[in-house]
Structure 1
Amino acid sequence: MEENKMTVSSPFGLHLVHLDLKGAPPKVSYLAEIFPLFRTLGANGLLIEYEDMFPYEGELKPLRAEHAYSASEIKEILNLAKLHELEVIPLVQTFGHMEVYYLGEGEESKQWLQKEENSTEKLCLSHMKAVASCMVSSHPAVKPIVWDDMLRGVSEETLTESGVAQLMEPMIWDYAPDLDENDKVLLVEKYHKCGFPKLWFASAFKGATGANQSLTLIGHHLKNHLQWLKVANSTPADMLQGIALTGWQRYDHFSVLCELLPVGIPSLAVCLQALQNGGYSEKVKENVEKQLGLSSLEIDTFMSESSGTFPGSDIFTLVTQVCFYLKPSVDELLERNRYVTGWFSPYHRKRKIVHPIMMHHFQPDALSLLDKWNAVMQELQAALNRVFYMCTLEEWMEENVHPSLHKLQEVVDDLDKAIQAQS
């Protein structure tokens, strides 16, 4: 009963929050704090992309990450989800971006493609059918869901003939704020004609605006969800299973981290509430402010002034501080302070030359700035350590904090050396 009431003005049955664990996987203790919030905000499911955090055994054991969840932790995650009435859909890689883009390049595939009636489209569909058939035969109650990028361009005839429609449900994804509503409605109609009885949509609340994005621009993601609401309102209700709000943590295993989960929470809150209320309004804004403990919600800037009381809000505040002020404050001192540029240039630093009077004009500034950022760094490390594993902490700090902090530390060290050389 509660679930129906919760999504009364939403065209979606399920609102799934996507957890991408191939980068910055949260500790289970943090998931325990955040799942109740997901539920309060309007989520009723999770799309968990386990990646290398799953405790694989046997032949697959080498796939495990160093900090992979243990079997008991996986059980705990599933129990927490159940406790907060969040349906769990596991996302397991079978045929991802690494293989699909090079489809037909292998020797066996090339030979198969030489036959006139064969094509890369058919090759892909036959593989998808094989995987889905295997899944369905061993787990008859499970219905596989597939990202739809490899289905979009396939002709209606080829798609219908392949027989995949009876085995799987496509998830149509688009993370753009200006996604073409009519284009999506036509795609839904196409899948309907090809015999797919059910389908899903996928939006993004973070992790889709740049591989090294650190802060989440809420307005961008809100627009994406408002467009999806329009598409949903033109989609037959009995076809639409739900929407997955994706929160990518890396673009792929080799790329840097994008926005950390706690940094994306305000965006997730706005997007979930917009879906639940059928749009964005003053009421939605007030709901989000209340639920996250924010004094004022900004959707068109990076919300630099408001901190919040939600789990991980300290990370959100400190990351915002680092992204806005660390590099500019160091650059200001080293590149625009006239005493540094005029009396302690790289030439002076290399030769340990410093004007004994002039240095008093910039030494206190350099020391107080270093103290300030060292204190912020300590605070941020402690906050990150509560939510993430050490490898995440190290990676984020090395990418976002160390370059500027090292520059600042070096100028202070060089000044000490120059003073000692003259004494």
Structure 2
Amino acid sequence: MSGSTPFKMRLVHLDLKGAPPKVSYLSEIFPLFHDLGANGLLIEYEDMFPYEGHLQLLRAKHAYSPSEVKEILHLARLSELEVIPLVQTFGHMEFVLKHAAFAHLREVALFPNTLNPHEAESLALVGAMIDQVLGLHGGSSWLHIGCDEVYHLGEGAASRRWLEQEQHSKAQLCLSHVRAVASHVLARHPGTTPLLWDDMLRDIPKDQLAVSGVPQLVELVLWDYRADLDIHDKVLLMEKYRECGFLRLWAASAFKGATGASQALPPIEHHLRNHAQWLQVAGSGPADTLQGIVLTGWQRYVTGWFSPYHRRRNLIHPVMVQHIQPEALSLLARWSSLVQELEAALQLVFYPDAVEEWLEENVLPSMQRLQGLLQDLSQAAAPQPPSTGPTPDTG
């Protein structure tokens, strides 16, 4: 791979927020990554990092110990893989904001995915996380600060008040937080350059991006996991970012995940086409525009976020409730109406005992499943204290 690719850096993404592997397994696959042409790792620790002090409650039950993190770094060096840690600092903050101690820092009280960018404590929180992670990754050339899919941005009470003042915009709100986080990284860790997912910046006008100061602070990672991505459109987007002042850009494809909420096996053809199209993008733009590529591998793509396991343990993400509950209620209403019509039609032909038997065998099981689903949704939607259990992932 390394002999035929335009990408100087070729990173394999390890998503540890779902079914993280043991260190002994990593010792087996790191040499394989190297043999296949990779020269780096993007490690998204989430709750597998051994946070300490007031952040210790973020640790998962089987979080890596400091010595295990050091062993991972040692194993990476043996396979000539440069390690870049990823710390979410804006969106995808469920593993932090689900805890009672930090729930007050949510942008919207019901949803633990987005950080409130107006609170000084929010920046202090992500700053402490960054400092602890980089403390165990001394000399890291890059730190990925996430900031993708910042859902519900601008919907909190503080944000709504801010947006009403002086014609502020959600774009300004996003750029302000990114600038603050990146500035913290550069001030406290001057040898480390922040990386940033690009999706929240794609639609921001060029002039606004250019004057924000963000292009001088971060390197953007353009992600697109589709098998039919628009190569010309991607080249134009790269040109836009360059004109705004982003001098170094990265790409991100996917080798698994990102194709739906229920995948038992990766659709290999889809991912191969995605990789091939990113190679075309790299060959279509100015030489050396793309610093490297991240081959992402997203976890928790088997049965999605509403599996029987999650339902039994009431580990249902509020976002899923918001998506599913209205449809389920509508379906139950249609079913109930249809059953009444069906029962009336059957009674014209059969005696009551035959009608009861047919409905109980052919209709009742489906109705009970739907009613059980709605019961679980109602329980998940009820106000509850912030969780301290496993985080249901949103991918």
Question: What TM-score, normalized to structure 2?
Answer: 0.62
- The within-5 A match list for 1:368-379 is none
Deviation at 1:72, TM superposition (A): 0.3
Classify the secondary structure of the residue corresponding to 2:158: helix
CA–CA distance in 2 between the matches of 1:210 and 1:188? 27
1:44 maps to which residue?
A: 39
Give the conservation status (yes or no) of the 8 Å contact 1:211–1:256: no
2:296 maps to which residue?
A: 246
CA–CA distance in 2 between the matches of 1:67 and 1:256? 23
Deviations 1:257-280 (A, max 9, x none): 9xxxxxxxxxxxxxxxxxxxxxxx
CA–CA distance in 1 between the matches of 2:178 and 2:169? 14
Unpaired runs of 5+ in structure 1?
1-5, 258-346, 348-390, 396-423
Question: Aligned AA for 1:44?
Answer: N
Pick one of 77, 88, 100 that aligns with 2:83: 88
Give the conservation status (yes or no) of the 8 Å contact 2:262–2:301: no
2:241 maps to which residue?
A: 191
Deviation at 1:171, TM superposition (A): 0.5
1:133 maps to which residue?
A: 183
Deviations 1:70-104 (A, max 9, x none): 10000000000011000101011101142121111
Deviations 1:278-321 (A, max 9, x none): xxxxxxxxxxxxxxxxxxxxxxxxxxxxxxxxxxxxxxxxxxxx
CA–CA distance in 2 between the matches of 1:61 and 1:256? 28
Pick one of 5, 14, 22 that aligns with 1:10: 5
- The within-5 A match list for 1:187-336 is 187-250=237-300, 255=305
Classify the secondary structure of the residue corresponding to 1:160: helix
Give the conservation status (yes or no) of the 8 Å contact 1:206–1:221: yes
CA–CA distance in 1 between the matches of 2:207 and 2:220? 17
CA–CA distance in 1 between the matches of 2:305 and 2:38? 29
CA–CA distance in 2 between the matches of 1:256 and 1:218? 25
2:321 maps to which residue?
A: none
Deviations 1:158-185 (A, max 9, x none): 1001010000011100000000001100
Pick one of 199, 220, 226 that aligns with 1:170: 220
Q: Look at both structures and tell me which one has the larger radius of gyration over its CA atoms.
A: 1
Question: Aligned AA for 1:121?
Answer: A
Deviation at 1:112, TM superposition (A): 1.4
- The within-5 A match list for 1:112-123 is 112-123=162-173
Question: Aligned AA for 1:246?
Answer: T
Sort the Cα spacing of 1:74 and 1:256 in 2 relative to 1 into closer, same or farther, 3 A.
farther
Give the conservation status (yes or no) of the 8 Å contact 1:156–1:194: yes
Sort the Cα spacing of 1:256 and 1:53 in 2 relative to 1 into closer, same or farther, 3 A.
farther
Corresponding position: 1:124 with 2:174: yes
Sort the Cα spacing of 1:251 and 1:187 in 2 relative to 1 into closer, same or farther, 3 A.
farther
Give the conservation status (yes or no) of the 8 Å contact 1:13–1:242: yes
- CA-atom RMSD, angstroms? 2.2
Deviation at 1:240, TM superposition (A): 1.3
- Which runs of at least 4 in structure 1 moved beyond 3 Å after TM superposition? none
CA–CA distance in 2 between the matches of 1:101 and 1:141? 31
1:21 maps to which residue?
A: 16
Deviation at 1:107, TM superposition (A): 2.0
Question: Aligned AA for 2:259?
Answer: T
CA–CA distance in 1 between the matches of 2:218 and 2:162? 25
Corresponding position: 1:142 with 2:142: no
2:311 maps to which residue?
A: none
Give the conservation status (yes or no) of the 8 Å contact 1:204–1:245: yes
Sort the Cα spacing of 1:256 and 1:233 in 2 relative to 1 into closer, same or farther, 3 A.
farther
Structure with the higher fraction of residues in helix conformation? 1
- The within-5 A match list for 1:338-377 is none
Give the conservation status (yes or no) of the 8 Å contact 1:146–1:170: yes
Give the conservation status (yes or no) of the 8 Å contact 2:253–2:274: yes
Sort the Cα spacing of 1:14 and 1:162 in 2 relative to 1 into closer, same or farther, 3 A.
same
CA–CA distance in 2 between the matches of 1:161 and 1:216? 41
Question: Aligned AA for 1:70?
Answer: S
Pick one of 25, 49, 55 that aligns with 2:50: 55
Deviations 1:357-394 (A, max 9, x none): xxxxxxxxxxxxxxxxxxxxxxxxxxxxxxxxxx99xx
CA–CA distance in 1 between the matches of 2:270 and 2:156? 40
CA–CA distance in 1 between the matches of 2:45 and 2:285? 30
1:301 maps to which residue?
A: none
Count of matched residue pairs: 255
Classify the secondary structure of the residue corresponding to 1:117: coil
Give the conservation status (yes or no) of the 8 Å contact 1:31–1:77: yes
Give the conservation status (yes or no) of the 8 Å contact 2:222–2:250: yes
Deviation at 1:251, TM superposition (A): 6.4
1:109 maps to which residue?
A: 159
Question: Aligned AA for 1:221?
Answer: H
Classify the secondary structure of the residue corresponding to 2:42: strand
CA–CA distance in 1 between the matches of 2:91 and 2:269? 29
Fraction of identical pairs, as percent: 65
CA–CA distance in 1 between the matches of 2:160 and 2:22? 45
Deviations 1:176-228 (A, max 9, x none): 00000011000000000000000110000001222221111211100001110
CA–CA distance in 2 between the matches of 1:65 and 1:256? 21
Deviations 1:332-370 (A, max 9, x none): xxxxxxxxxxxxxxx9xxxxxxxxxxxxxxxxxxxxxxx
Question: Aligned AA for 1:20?
Answer: D
CA–CA distance in 2 between the matches of 1:14 and 1:106? 39
Question: What TM-score, normalized to structure 1?
Answer: 0.58
Classify the secondary structure of the residue corresponding to 1:158: helix
1:412 maps to which residue?
A: none
